[in-house]
Structure 1
Amino acid sequence: MIEVNELTKRYGSVLAVNGLSFTVRPGLVTGFLGPNGAGKSTTLRMLLGLNTPTSGTATIDGKRFRDLGTGLRHVGALLDAGDVHSGRSAAAHLSALARSNGLPRRRVDEVLQEVGLADVARRRIGGFSLGMRQRLGIATALLGDPPVLLFDEPINGLDPEGVLWVRRLFRRLAAEGRTVFVSSHLMSEMENTADRLVVIGRGELIADEGVTEFAARGTNFSVSVRTPDTAVLAGLLATEGAEVTSDGYESLTVTGLTAARIGELAFHHRLMLHELATHTPSLEEAFMELTADSVEYLAGQPQ
């Protein structure tokens, strides 16, 4: 389990992380989201002891990472797939890590096989594509068979098959009871992979909740209705406080009322409905809306 409590990091006048608190529990894939400059990478680096907090704590199973001894047995992490010696082979890179953490040599072969790099184990990493480096980074995280795993942008550079493989891998690891914490900018992938989200902006917590709950906080929630009695139904819905827009012949878009309430009103007034469908905001729509005030670099909008 990962616990962050009142975590703060200041670089001179820049407050990168500000009083951040959250818990990442085992058995779930937890997504870590935020705009550029939100403090995600700084938080992950403090979890791994690479940066020292100005104040607060970041612990894994109740201990600081630096106090865990053979770290790879406790925590596996991928922060930067390019941060490897390009002159080494994949097998040599993993073998050195295995020796330094007291891991059996067979784990090198096992993880290379698992990530699909067994056939290029002796090739120098400098000749690897970005997707191959990502797979090697994931192999490194898995090497010690740890209960806690951290991944920063693990999908970058992967082809569709690779993305599907990573999605299944993360879900399997969580199903085994591990703590899986994934930072990503790909909202569609988080929507398909994560069970829970920790969302930050400008170093502060915005949300710590399930994916469905977070998406439902977006205001673009609406209901589509098709009925031959559009004028009558629109009037009824307006009296209930809903906003109603006509989308053409027999079609209405309604905000401010649930599909269940619309159906009840139609039934009570004997109005025929041909269609009643709820549109829930996507994770991306909710994220863009709820982090709008936390965006550090905002592109200009067309006039």
Structure 2
Amino acid sequence: MIEARGLTKRYGDKKAVDDLTFTVRPGLVTGFLGPNGAGKSTTMRMILGLDAPTSGSVTVNGRPYTKAVAPMREVGALIDAKAIHGGRSAYHHLLALAQTNNLPRRRVGEVLELTGLTQVARKRSGGFSLGMGQRLGIAAALLGDPQVLMFDEPVNGLDPDGIRWIREFMRTLAGEGRTVFVSSHLMSEMEHTADHLIVIGRGRLQADCSVKEFIERNSELSVTVRTPDPGSLMRLLAASGARIEARGDGALTVRGLTPPQVGDLAFDAGIRVHELAPHQASLEEAFMEMTRDQVEYRASAGGPASGSGFGGQPPAEPPLPSRGRRGRGRDRQDDPHHLIGA
């Protein structure tokens, strides 16, 4: 279980994360959503102890993750799939992680097979495609067989078969009673994968509810109707307070009335109906509706991207440290958690 209480991170005058309180529970796939710059990556880094909160706290299984005795056995994280030594093979990358975290060598072969990388295990990871790099990052997260798993954009670069695999795999992990926390911009995948959602905007909590509740709260049910007498039905429904839109395919989209209400009105008036179907917005549509005022940068139709609502200020989430050759080695040696999800 992951618990955040009043979690806040400030960079100068800018709050990247602003008083976040939420719980990620075991047995569920919890989606972590928000526009770019909302504070998702900063929040995940604070959970892992890679960034220190300005105020508030966050614990994993009741204590700060930095105090974990065997970190990779408690949490498996995919934060940056590119954080690997390109000169190492997939096998030796995972073996180094296993040996430095006191994990059995056999786990390397197990996670390679689990993620479909057995055939390329001895190839240099620097030559991997984006999708193969994602699979290697997921393999590293699974190495310690942890009860808590965190994935940041896990389907990035995966082909359709890989996307279906990670979707089913995350649901299997949650079904085993594990805590699965996943950040993604692919709303269609979240709609099919997540049980629960935590949504933030401008660093603040916007929603903490099930996917179904989120869609219902942030969208309006519409009804698709087909009839050989659309004019009469439109006048009838308008008189009952409905909003009607005539579509190009001959159907009507009705808002403000439920399907039973539309059907009863048509029946009572003797109007024949050939189709009567409810339509609920997708997660993507509901998300766009909820966060339209939270977007930090929005491209205009005829010109370059421009700031929206932030007066042209830089994104809330700061750039990652330089990864030049000398800087990379120094950063990784100084960071006791640099092997997490590497």
TM-score (norm 1): 0.95
Could you tell me which amino acid in structure 1 is paired with residue 28 of structure 2? Answer: L
Deviates more, 1:218-227 or 1:64-73: 218-227
The offset of 1:248, in angstroms, is 6.5
Larger deviation, residues 175-184 vs 246-255: 246-255
Task: Classify the secondary structure of the residue corresponding to 2:288.
Answer: helix
Paired residues for 1:202-281 under 5 Å? 202-219=202-219, 221-247=221-247, 251-281=251-281
Give 1:3's aligned residue: 3
Q: CA deviation at 1:233?
A: 2.9
Question: In the alignment, what sits opposite 1:173?
Answer: 173
| One-letter identity of the residue aligned with 2:242 | A
> Given the alignment of the two structures, is residue 149 of structure 1 paired with residue 149 of structure 2, yes or no?
yes
- Could you tell me how far 1:220 is from its partner in structure 2? 5.2
Q: Secondary structure at the match of 1:32?
A: strand
Q: Report the equivalent of 1:286.
A: 286
User: How do residues 1-303 of structure 1 correspond to structure 2 at under 5 angstroms?
Assistant: 1-219=1-219, 221-247=221-247, 251-302=251-302
How far apart in 1 are the matches of 2:129 and 2:165?
A: 17
**Gapped regions of structure 2 (runs ≥ 5):** 304-342
Cα displacement (A) at 1:140: 0.6
Q: In structure 2, what residue type is equivalent to 1:116?
A: G
Aligned to 2:316: none
Cα distance in 1 for partners of 2:229, 2:289 equals 34
TM-aligned CA distance change 1:249 to 1:115, over 3 Å? closer
Report how far residue 249 of structure 1 moved.
8.8
Residue type at the aligned position of 1:111 = V
Aligned residue for 2:102, secondary structure, equals coil
Q: Is the 8 A contact 1:229 1:250 kept in 2?
A: no
Amino acid at match of 1:3: E
Deviation at 1:87, TM superposition (A): 1.7
Secondary structure, aligned partner of 2:298 = coil
Of stretches 151-160 and 210-219 in structure 1, the one that deviates more from structure 2 is: 210-219
Does structure 1 retain, via aligned residues, the 8 Å contact 2:9–2:55? Answer: yes
Alignment partners' CA distance in 2, 1:82 and 1:152? 12
RMSD (Å), alpha carbons: 1.7
Instruction: State whether residues 219 and 280 of structure 2, in contact with CA within 8 Å, keep that contact through their aligned partners in structure 1.
Output: no
Provide the TM-score with structure 2 as the length reference: 0.84
Contact 1:25 1:179 survives alignment (8 Å): yes
Over residues 28-62 of structure 1, what are the superposed CA-to-partner deviations in whole Å (9 max), with x where a residue is unaligned? 11111111100000000000000000111111111
Q: Equivalent residue of 1:298, what SS?
A: strand
Distance across 2 between alignment mates of 1:185 and 1:56: 27
Identity of aligned residues (%): 62
Q: Deviations over 1:119-162 (max 9, x none)?
A: 22222211211111111100011011111100001111111111
Between the aligned partners of 1:24 and 1:67, the Cα distance in structure 2 is 19
Q: Matches of 1:184 and 1:249 in 2, distance apart?
A: 34
> What is the letter of the counterpart of residue 38 of structure 2?
A
1:196–1:211 Cα contact (<8 Å) kept: yes
Match of 2:332 in 1: none
Judge which range, 181-190 or 218-227, deviates more. 218-227
User: Amino acid of the residue matched to residue 33 of structure 1?
Assistant: L
Query: SS at the partner of 1:294?
Result: coil
Q: By how many angstroms is 1:298 displaced?
A: 0.7
SS in 1 for 2:271: coil
- Work out the CA distance in 2 between the residues paired with 1:233 and 1:148: 54
Letter matched to residue 151 of structure 1: F
Q: Residue 85 of structure 1: CA displacement?
A: 1.3
